[in-house]
Amino acid sequence: MSILVYALHYQGEFNKNSLGAVSEGARLAGELGGEAAAVVVGGDDLSDELCASLGNYGVTKVYRARAPEGLAQPVVDVMAKVIQDNGYKYALFGGGLLGFEIGAGLTARLGAGVTMEVTSVKAQDGKLVAERPILQDSAIVDVGYVGEPGIIIGRLNAFDIKEAGGGAAEVVDVDVQLEDHSTKAVMVERGEQRGADVNIEDAEILVAGGRGLGKAEGFELCESLADALGGAVAATRAVVDAGWYPYAAQIGQTGKTVAPKLYLAAGISGAIQHKVGMQNSENIVAINKDPNAPIFEFSDLGVVGDLNKILPKLTEAVKAKKG
Amino acid sequence: MKICVLVKEVPDAAVEKRMDPGSKRLDRSGEKNLNPFDTHAIEAAMQIREGGAVDVDEIVAVTMGPESAFRALHKAVSLGADRSVHLSDEALAGSDVCATGYALARVLESESPDLVLLGQQSDDGECYTIGAVVADHLKMPSLTQVIKIDVEGGKLRCERQAEYGYDTVDVELPAVISVGDAINEPRYPSLKAIMGAKKKPLDTKATGDVGIEADRVGEQGSRTQVLEINPPPQKEAGEIIEDEDTNETVEKVVAWLDERKLLA
């Protein structure tokens, strides 16, 4: 028994980051000479078939517990029991909000070491070492664990999904008595979509706007430029939370992950949570008035200046060039 | 209701941060400030007090850190906290997330808060996790990245953005809530509040005062170990244009896009 991976699901489908973590867990367990298992927590949509399908990604066993979905603390109770009963040495999470919360809860419950924002994991002398960028990605640290278990929380999109060609995994139901405090947060509404439903994942060109646009109306500048370029408009979490643009257009940690041919970022500082959703774009152009904005460190072309002046003229120039 | 707000002293944003290659810890010398994410948590506490849905008796700023961290507490008090608690002890140096969460939980326990608020992340460690660690030790329900809190009938109705959209969650008190930076625009402290901050009560506590077991904190209580520090893979620096003449700038950008066949 070596690695236990949390697999998040919603409406009968597993989360992509979780499938990446399951694949990575299976790979690492192989290197450690052990096996990886997954844990799923939820309601009736967790059918035998759905759970067993995680075998395709390399786990041999799936622990299933019936408990409220979308909240971390019930999962902490389930995973703590599975780890204690079966002696798993590591718990692994893909990128995402719930993984952070569950991993943190387990740290406290089991007195375990934790690393977060992990971009890669390697097996070294029979133990796992997590690699993690720190200080706005200006350094990378290798972190080892003292004692067991070790908890590894991945960065968004850190682990690739790999179908290992394994058969159906064995599904084991676990009965867990939830802690009192784990029942004191109750989901009232989950997954509410705010704003229009827009499709940004298929666009080859994206013009993305951030707080630097100054106000909701600033997005008109992005829309005009996107029209001229034949692309779509995307947004950062900050402006979506502020109600300036629809949630469906959000890039990053709790939004979409994109890799278009051109990503033009207007008024976006380039926080890690945003970067993880767009860093694989082919060409990144950034316009920002702050010359120290982190986005200039990973853009291919940076323009330091006032977007209110630059965007309208750029739109005209693009139209003129394209005829 | 008594609200404790967890705050942290971090290197000033303008200071270049680095790891100390000897100790493999973050070099925390140089100019310091209150973690900017924490100001949103203090503001959230103030808005609960001013909202009137519940009587807030006290807002207490709590920190763990070296002696210099009292300045972050002064700032927290100038933003609205009534008093502050400083957990400071040599034994705590080098604590990882596991050890820090345990120590903070012990000091919070000594205050018996009805609500613990904190910011979504620290500006230096980029951890996002301490709230959920503390909550499990305190056996309280917890939620992170909350962008709206309403007090309704002794419960908190919280909203946040999670993996599949916006979630609305009812949380019973006592609870630990970490707030996202979209929850509010923190106010600026008045000059009077800044001057008065030093006069507000500040309790300094050592590990023994709040029942912290020495072998669970500091380097020996930590469960992770930094083995190596490396520079990131070098990425070729991008081209930078300083916009002086916008017509010229736009011309350059269009040429750049055209070269890469992005204007086809």
**Among candidates B179, B105, B104, which has minimal Cα distance to B139?**
B105
Contact B144 A101 (CB under 8 A): yes
**B247 belongs to a structural domain:** no
- CB–CB contact A143 B223 (8 Å): no
Q: Cβ(A1)–Cβ(A94) under 8 Å?
A: no
Domain co-membership, A157 together with A18: yes
Q: Do A143 and B101 touch (CB under 8 A)?
A: no
SS3 (DSSP) at B247:
helix
Q: What is the pLDDT of residue A109?
A: 98
What is the domain range of residue A7? Answer: 3-183
Q: What is the CATH number of the domain that holds B93?
A: 3.40.50.620
Helix, strand, coil percentages (3-state) for chain B, rounded to 5, are: 35, 30, 35
pLDDT in tens, A53-63: 999 999 999 99
**Structural domain contains residue B160:** yes
Spatial contact of A40 and A72, defined as CB atoms under 8 Å apart: no
Say yes or no to pLDDT of B235 above 80. Answer: no
Question: Domain total for chain A?
Answer: 2
- Say if residue A1's pLDDT is above 70: no
Q: Angle at CA A164, nearest 5°, toward A161 and A169?
A: 100
Query: B33 in a domain, yes or no?
Result: yes
Nearest in space to B175 (alpha carbons), one of B148, B140, B137 = B140
Separation of CA B240 from chain center: 33
CA distance B79 to B170: 28
Report the pLDDT value the prediction gives residue B33, as an integer from 0 to 100. 87
Cβ within 8 Å, pair B97-A107: yes
Interface size between A and B, measured as CB pairs under 8 A:
282
Question: Do residue A79 and residue A169 come from a single domain?
Answer: yes
CATH number of the domain residue A145 falls in: 3.40.50.620
pLDDT, one tens digit per residue, over A151-202 is: 999 999 999 999 987 899 999 999 999 999 999 999 999 999 998 888 898 8
User: Which pLDDT tens digit goes with each residue over B22-61?
Assistant: 777 777 666 788 999 999 999 999 999 999 999 999 999 9
Write the residue in A98, A138, A304 that is nearest to B162 by C-beta: A98
Q: Quick check: helix, strand or coil at residue A260?
A: coil
Beta strands in A125-184 (DSSP E): 127-134, 139-145, 150-154, 170-173
Closest-CA residue to B5 (of B107, B89, B94, B96): B107
Tokens of B57: 């008796």
Cα–Cα distances (Å) from B105 to B54, B87, B89, B131, in that order, read 24, 11, 15, 10
Which pLDDT belongs to residue B14?
58
* Distance from the B84 Cα atom to the nearest Cα atom in chain A, whole angstroms: 25
The per-residue pLDDT for B237 is 78
Question: Could you tell me if A110 and A232 lie in one domain?
Answer: no
E strand residue ranges, A67-178: 90-93, 113-118, 120-124, 127-134, 139-145, 150-154, 170-173
- Please identify which residue in the block is written with the tokens 């051109």: A262
Which chain B residues have a beta carbon less than 8 Å from that of A241?
A: 147, 161, 180, 182
How confident is the model over B103-129, as pLDDT tens digits? Answer: 999 999 999 999 999 999 887 666 788
For B177-241, give the DSSP string. EEEPTTS--PPPPPHHHHHHGGGS-EEEE-GGGGT--GGGSHHHH-SEEEEEEEPPPP-PPPEEE
In angstroms, what CA-CA distances link A140 with A196, A245, A278, B263? 39, 34, 20, 37
Domain presence at residue A260: yes
Note whether B238 contacts A299, CB cutoff 8 Å: yes
Whether residue B229 and residue A112 make contact (CB cut-off 8 A), yes or no, is no
Q: What three-state secondary structure class fits A201?
A: coil
| Nearest residue of chain A to residue B17 (CA atoms) | A135
Give the range of the structural domain holding residue B208, as residue numbers without chain letter.
2-221
Complex prediction ipTM: 0.92
Is B229 part of a structural domain of the chain?
A: no
| Separation between Cα atoms, residue B199 and residue B202, nearest integer Å | 9
> Is residue B230 in some structural domain?
no
Beta bridge partners of B13: none
Lowest mean pLDDT among A128-142, A239-253, B1-15: B1-15
Q: Hey, of A15, A117, A135, A156, which one would you mutate to test binding to chain B, going by the most B CBs within 10 A of its CB?
A: A135
When divided into structural domains, chain B yields a total of 1
Amino acid B242: pLDDT: 96
Q: Which residues of A touch B172 (CB under 8 A)?
A: 184-185
- Under DSSP, the state recorded for B8 is -
CB atoms B164 and A304 under 8 Å = no
The verdict on A159 and A283 lying in the same domain is no
Contact with chain A for residue B147, Cβ under 8 A = yes
Structure tokens at B222: 């930590």
DSSP string across B71-110 = HHHHHHHHTT-SEEEEE--GGGTT--HHHHHHHHHHHHHT
- Residue B261 in domain: no
Mean pLDDT, chain B, integer: 93
Single pTM value for the model: 0.92
pLDDT at B184 over 80: yes
Q: In chain B, positions 157-176, which contact chain A (CB-CB < 8 Å)? A: 157, 160-172, 175
Q: Are residues A115 and A209 in the same domain?
A: no
Q: Which among B144, B175, B240 has the least Cβ separation from residue A296?
A: B240
Residue B233 falls inside a structural domain: no
pLDDT of B150 strictly over 80 = yes
- CA angle, corner A85, sides to A81 and A88, nearest 5? 90
Q: Would the pLDDT of A310 be above 80?
A: yes
Query: Residues 6 or more apart from B173 whose CB is under 8 A from it?
Result: B1, B114, B115, B154, B155, B156
Do A173 and A210 lie in one domain? The reply is: no
Q: Is B146 within 8 Å of chain A by CB?
A: no
Rounded CA-CA distance B215/B12 in Å is: 31
Q: List all residues 6 or more positions away from A149 whose beta carbon is below 8 Å from its beta carbon.
A: A83, A88, A89, A90, A91, A106, A110, A112
More confident residue, B207 or B12: B207
A21 with A104, same domain?
yes
Q: Which segment of A41-50, A290-299, B17-26 scores lowest on mean pLDDT?
A: B17-26
Around B86, how many Cα atoms within 13 Å sit in the side-chain half-sphere? 20
Residue A93, domain member (yes or no): yes
Q: What is the DSSP string of B121-141?
A: --TTT----HHHHHHHHHT--
Reduce the DSSP state of residue B115 to 3 states and report it.
Answer: strand
Does A192 reside within a domain?
Answer: no
Q: Are A42 and A184 in contact (CB under 8 A)?
A: no
Residue-wise pLDDT for A191-223, tens only, equals 999 988 888 988 999 999 999 999 999 999 999
> Which of B98, B185, B225 to probe the A interface (max A CBs under 10 A)?
B98
Q: Do B229 and A139 touch (CB under 8 A)?
A: yes
Q: How confident is the model at residue B17 (pLDDT cuts 50, 70, 90)?
A: low
Judge whether B20 lies within some domain: yes
How far is the C-alpha of B202 from the C-alpha of B213, rounded, in Å? 23
Q: B 233-262 residues with CB below 8 A of A?
A: 235, 238-243, 246-247, 249-251, 253-254, 256-258, 260, 262
Closest residue in A to B123 (Cα) is A135
pLDDT tens by residue, A94-109 = 988 999 999 999 999 9
Specify whether A106 is located in the same domain as A156.
yes
Q: Is B232 on the interface with A (CB under 8 A)?
A: yes
pLDDT digits (tens, 9 = 90+) for B124-147: 666 788 999 999 999 999 999 999
Average pLDDT value over all residues in chain A: 95
Q: Alpha-carbon distance A116 to A95, whole Å? A: 9
Residue numbers of B between 14 and 43 with CB closer than 8 Å to A:
17-19, 24, 26
Residues A155 and A36 in one domain: yes
Q: Average of pLDDT values for B9-32?
A: 74
Task: Provide the CATH number for the domain around residue A255.
Answer: 3.40.50.1220
- The two counts, helices (H) then strands (E), for chain A are 8, 18
Is A148 in the same domain as A229? no
Name A153's bridge partners. A93
Q: What token pair was written down for B101?
A: 């969460």
pLDDT at A253: 85
Statement to judge: residues A249 and A120 lie in one domain:
no
Cα A29 to Cα A104: distance, rounded to the nearest angstrom: 22
pLDDT of res. B11: 81
Residues in chain B with CB shorter than 8 Å from the CB of A129 are: 227
Do A65 and A156 share a structural domain? Answer: yes
Could A141 and B168 be called an inter-chain contact, meaning their C-beta atoms sit closer than 8 Å? no
The percent of residues above 70 in pLDDT, for chain A, comes to 100
More confident residue, B4 or A139: B4
Dist CA A153 CA A143 (whole Å): 12
First-to-last C-alpha distance (Å) of chain A: 64
Residue B246's nearest CA partner among A114, A236, A315 is A315
pLDDT the model gives residue B126: 62
Q: Is residue A199 part of a domain?
A: no
pLDDT tens column, A79-138: 999 999 999 999 999 988 999 999 999 999 999 999 999 999 999 999 999 999 988 888
* Residues 6 or more apart in contact with residue A218 via CB below 8 angstroms: A209, A244, A267, A307, A308
